[in-house]
Amino acid sequence: MPGELFEDTVVIRDQKEGTQIYNKGNFGYPMSGGGLELDLIEATFLLECERLQITKDGAPISFREMFCHSSEQYDRFDTSYLVYRDMRNRGFVVKAESGHFDLSVFPRGSTMSDSRPQYLVRAVSERDVLDLEVFSKEVSHTEIKGKKLLYGVVDEEGDLTYYHMSSKDPGGKYFHSSSKNIARGYLIGERVLVFEESQIEYLREREFYGKMMGSVLQLSLIECCFLVEMGDLEVIAQTGEKMSAEEMMNLGMRTQEEFDLRLDAFRDLRKRGMVVKTGFKYGAHFRVYNGSPEDDHAKYLVHAVPNRKTMMWPEISRTVRLSGGVKKDILFCRIGEPIEYLEFKWFRP
């Protein structure tokens, strides 16, 4: 089937042949008066599949020449083409997008005339940097439109990994409730120990704070900062003086990395009714439970990140793969106004 190459489009002038290729794969856009107009990514794919012959100035051009021409016309054409090609080979109808997204993907088995796009796709290289501020806007944009956001990540060998990106609104059933009696803890090193049995019962058995060490409850600095702020705990330093919430915060920031970020995330999750425990052994800041950690497995791994955080795709890949291996969802808690939770999930189209 012949097509003629112009700068950024390929035109099939024969009406019968144009109709045939449109009907058999939803390629191109019908032209008024007959014929079919293809964008460069569609035309390059059809040329590779030997379903189209392309000429320029009357002479046929090769796939190599077409690929080079398309790459000169569009930035990052090679990356977008590999994602387009993979999606088409999986049976989807795919169209190039203008603007911030690269491709729109229709449900498998559907056509443009009887459905709307299901996914908006960003095609990226494994060496690209992901800006979470930009990503947050992309998630919001796609969800407002009732679509799903996919990232197709192309590695250095041309293999594809897909991630479904979305926002989450986590919530649980264990909302913090203040006790009538303020618990007393003693700061020893980087831990606070509570010895009084009645206070332990409230903090541990009702609110799931800390971890038992024999008959003594040990609390992390993150937990202590929150409890002091809520008026449910007083911390006694080794000097015998009571520490303020500000002093506890300063101690945490002196001794632990990203303490302020983690505390912001901890506060928000606790106020959402979630039970929050360290996620160190899973490579994240927290593991988070909807209900009692004695009865349920943690639903989420949560990692707190700054508002303007940038990340590399190998870092994201490791985190998502690890969370999937332990059957938990990974949420990045973006600390801003408001705090938001962004989910990265491995996806098989």
The catalytic residue positions are: 289, 297, 328
Looking up tokens 């197709």 gives 152
User: Which of 80, 77, 94, 75 is CA-nearest to residue 151?
Assistant: 80
What is the C-alpha to C-alpha distance for residues 186 and 201, in angstroms, rounded to an integer? Answer: 17
Is the C-alpha dihedral spanning 286, 290, 292, 294 positive or negative? negative
Under 8 Å between Cβ of 342 and 316: no
- 281 Cβ contact list (under 8 Å, min separation 6): none
What is the C-alpha to C-alpha distance for residues 19 and 175, in angstroms, rounded to an integer? Answer: 61
What is the C-alpha to C-alpha distance for residues 241 and 255, in angstroms, rounded to an integer? Answer: 20
What is the C-alpha to C-alpha distance for residues 334 and 194, in angstroms, rounded to an integer? Answer: 32
